[in-house]
Amino acid sequence: MSQLLTSAPHRGGLPAPVPTGPVRLHINGETRTLQLAPWTSLLDALREYAHLTGTKKGCDHGQCGACTVLVNGRRINSCLTLAVMHEDDDITTIEGLGTPDNLSPLQQAFVDHDAFQCGYCTPGQICSAQGLLNEGRAHSEAEIKELMSGNLCRCGAYTGILNAVQEVVAAQGEMVK
Amino acid sequence: MYPFTYSRATDVADAVRDKAGHGASAYLGGGTNLIDLMKYNVEQPAHLVNVAKLPLDKIEDLPDGGLRLGATATNADTAWNEQVKARYPMLNQAILAGASPQLRNAATNAGNLMQRTRCYYFYDIETPCNKREPGSGCSAIGGYNRIHAILGASEACIATHPSDMCVALAALAPTVRVSGPNGERSIAFEDFHRLPGDQPQYDNILAEGELITSLDLPEKGFAKNFTYLKLRDRHSYAFALVSVAVGLELEGNTITDARLALGGVAHKPWRDKSAEQLLKGQPATAETFGRVAAHVVANAVGQGSNDFKIELARRAIVRALQQATEGRQRATDAFLNSNP
Ligand SMILES: Cc1cc2nc3c(=O)[nH]c(=O)nc-3n(C[C@H](O)[C@H](O)[C@H](O)COP(=O)(O)OP(=O)(O)OC[C@H]3O[C@@H](n4cnc5c(N)ncnc54)[C@H](O)[C@@H]3O)c2cc1C
Ligand code: SF4
Ligand code: FES
Ligand code: FES
């Protein structure tokens, strides 16, 4: 597969030298050492270098949540962080949460509740919801809505998304009502 | 994005030395503002010093009864810290009103203070902007300026400081501790950010190479009668058009101490000490609140598209004072209060 330098540098229109170095990441339980330039975002590293295209690029500016992954169990936007900042961190992407034959509870709930239409925002929604579960701070519908507000859905599948997340939160005994 | 070199600092001295050793360099916290601006070529550092993993992430008691917030503690860890929740709930609410859970997990406290304006022209390198390119002009004056300042602006720049956290901090009045090439110093929060004047390129008074190491909160947290009211275009994941932080101390119905700060209205978090003086000794009534709110916006100037902010701010101040007095926020104005 060819490697696209989507966060490639440019200065005055001239091709700039690309000083890459090894960056060791633990992605979905597997240790990967990637040869990366300092300006490669974690998102581009995952998609273009680790070839894990489940994580999506929406806005590339922290405004949509499509690129959400878990770093050491916490959800962040992978587009606004550099891969070099995550040397030796544990990264979990949608590919690491479950497999087609063995869906994670959230993945199953998204299928059951029709929580997507085009599916582009879905990996980010599910990784974000997994982060929400790890945090353990959403105990009501209003709190789930607020704590999922960092993920936009252009198709407007919010009702299904809310139902799916609510079901898994409730199954873990975390709802207050 | 322009190319740059990168290093990760191991301690404060190392960070300061490393930055000083590189010309156009910058400290890197969570990256949520700096990397965004670098993608637009608004910021073009040739070297980044990652300070996010410095051992400055603790939140700990101070001997004087205050609380030290580490510079690299994340906004999320700060908001959800048990001490912050119990003693400085206004700060908890202000942080949770900002950005999204993902961004708050990455953003650091120092980065939040240092974040730059969201002025559209500042972000667009094709347009004149005195903050980005001193002397080039201000596109917002006479342009589209819905999110711009109504207080303290200058003929050079009418941008606002976008932070929510900093509005609560303005009301709580912590000290900002910094370490730089010339040693350490402490800066009162109210002196940290500045008005644009004729040098809008400077958002604050930090000297070249200075690194923020902590925010030291005083003991007084206004934990009983407080509010953080944020008004915006959508109810989550949007910057404030106007926000108000209020802390009151009451004896019966008489206000004995008051703090009042506004966000979204000026180049810096806007604490109004004269309004605080007007509140002190007065009964906590609608009449008092109306008078004080009118005082705060008496010198406000609209720029066209943001004229609505003057009336919005006036009403928001009244509502915030009301809620602080009652000691509870309307459900629509509270952020995740049910959390145990
Ligand atoms: C889509 C979006 C929505 C947002 N919404 C809101 C909102 O509603 N309310 C709100 O308040 N904020 C909001 N934010 C802004 C967010 O809070 C800031 O981006 C964040 O706080 C910056 O922290 P950081 O650690 O990521 O900083 P960085 O991006 O790493 O750095 C920002 C600046 O701080 C400097 N810096 C970092 N650490 C130090 C240090 N220790 N000493 C000195 N200088 C330092 C850097 O050099 C840089 O200039 C939003 C951001 C995005 C992208
Ligand atoms: S308001 Fe300030 S930041 Fe915006 S264009 Fe004018 S000078 Fe630039
Ligand atoms: S792609 Fe990262 S938030 Fe939109
Ligand atoms: S399902 Fe299409 S964007 Fe959410």
| Among candidate residues B167, B162, B208, the one with its CA nearest the CA of residue B189 | B167
How much is the ipTM here? 0.96
Single-letter amino acid code for the residue at B120 = Y
Q: Specify the pLDDT at position A2.
A: 36
Contact B101/A75, CB-based, under 8 Å?
yes
Contact B105/A74, CB-based, under 8 Å?
yes
Going by pLDDT thresholds of 50, 70 and 90, the confidence category of residue A158 is very high
Instruction: Give tens-digit pLDDT for A91-118.
Output: 999 999 999 999 999 999 999 999 999 9
- The structural domains of chain B, ordered by start, are 5-52 (3.30.43.10), 225-335 (3.30.390.50)
Q: Specify the pLDDT at position B334.
A: 75
Contact B100/A150, CB-based, under 8 Å?
yes
SS3 A95: helix
Q: Which residue has the tokens 């974000």?
A: A128
- The structural domains of chain A, ordered by start, are 1-96 (3.10.20.30), 98-177 (1.10.150.120)
Distance A79 CA to ligand 3 centre (A): 6
CA A144 – CA A140 distance, rounded (Å): 6
Residues in chain A, total: 177
Going by pLDDT thresholds of 50, 70 and 90, the confidence category of residue A19 is confident
CA B324 – CA B246 distance, rounded (Å): 7
Per the model's pLDDT, the better-predicted residue between A18 and B4 turns out to be B4
Token pair belonging to B255: 């206000």
Distance A134 CA to ligand 4 centre (A): 23
Contacts of B218-221 with C-beta under 8 Å, sequence gap 24+, read B218/B64, B218/B65, B218/B66, B218/B172, B218/B173, B218/B174, B219/B64, B219/B65, B219/B66, B220/B172, B220/B257, B221/B87, B221/B88, B221/B89, B221/B90, B221/B172, B221/B247
- By Cβ distance, the residue of B35, B335, B336 closest to A82 is B35
Q: Specify the pLDDT at position B340.
A: 38
Instruction: State mean pLDDT over A133-155.
Output: 96
DSSP secondary-structure letter at B254?
Answer: E
**Residue ranges lining ligand 4, Cβ < 6 Å:** A 116-122, 153-155, 157
CA B63 – CA B45 distance, rounded (Å): 39
Whether residue A51 contacts residue A107, with contact meaning beta carbons closer than 8 Å, is answered with: no
Q: Specify the pLDDT at position A174.
A: 75
B65: left (phi over 0), alpha (psi -120 to 50) or beta: left
Q: Which residue has the tokens 């300006």?
A: A39
CA A18 – CA B257 distance, rounded (Å): 58
Phi, psi dihedrals of residue A71, rounded to the nearest 5°: -115, 115
Is B30 an 8 Å CB contact of chain A?
yes
| Whether residue B328 has pLDDT greater than 90 | no
Pairing outcome for strands A74-77 and B59-61:
unpaired
- By Cβ distance, the residue of A11, A62, A76 closest to B36 is A62
The percent of residues in chain B predicted with pLDDT above 90, rounded, is 96
Instruction: State mean pLDDT over B115-130.
Output: 98
Tell whether ligand 2 has an atom less than 6 A from the beta carbon of residue B278: no
Question: Average model confidence (pLDDT) for chain B?
Answer: 96
Contact B237/A149, CB-based, under 8 Å?
yes
Going by pLDDT thresholds of 50, 70 and 90, the confidence category of residue B213 is very high
Distance B212 CA to ligand 2 centre (A): 25
Contact B1/A39, CB-based, under 8 Å?
yes
Per the model's pLDDT, the better-predicted residue between B320 and A5 turns out to be B320
Q: Is the dihedral of CA B75, B100, B231, B226 positive or negative?
A: negative
Q: Specify the pLDDT at position B331.
A: 72
Residues of B in contact with A76 (CB under 8 A): 102-103, 105-106
Q: Which ligand is nearest to the CA of A164?
A: 4
Q: Specify the pLDDT at position B337.
A: 55
SS3 A10: coil
Contact B36/A176, CB-based, under 8 Å?
no
Quote the minimal CA–CA distance from B8 to chain A in Å: 8
Disruptive mutation site among B35, B44, B104, B120 for chain A (greatest number of A CBs within 10 Å): B35
The percent of residues in chain A predicted with pLDDT above 70, rounded, is 89
Number of alpha carbons in the 13 Å side-chain half-sphere of residue B130 = 20
Q: Specify the pLDDT at position A16.
A: 56
Token pair belonging to B15: 């960070």
Tell whether ligand 3 has an atom less than 6 A from the beta carbon of residue A69: no
Going by pLDDT thresholds of 50, 70 and 90, the confidence category of residue A177 is low
Q: Specify the pLDDT at position B339.
A: 47
Q: Specify the pLDDT at position B336.
A: 65
Is A141 an 8 Å CB contact of chain B?
no
Q: Which residue has the tokens 């002397």?
A: B135
| Whether residue A4 has pLDDT greater than 60 | no
Is B125 an 8 Å CB contact of chain A?
no
Instruction: Give tens-digit pLDDT for A28-37.
Output: 999 999 999 9
Q: Which helix (H) or strand (E) holds A142?
A: helix A141-147
Whether residue A150 contacts residue B237, with contact meaning beta carbons closer than 8 Å, is answered with: yes
Q: Specify the pLDDT at position B168.
A: 98
Q: How many CB atoms lie within 10 A of CB A14?
A: 7
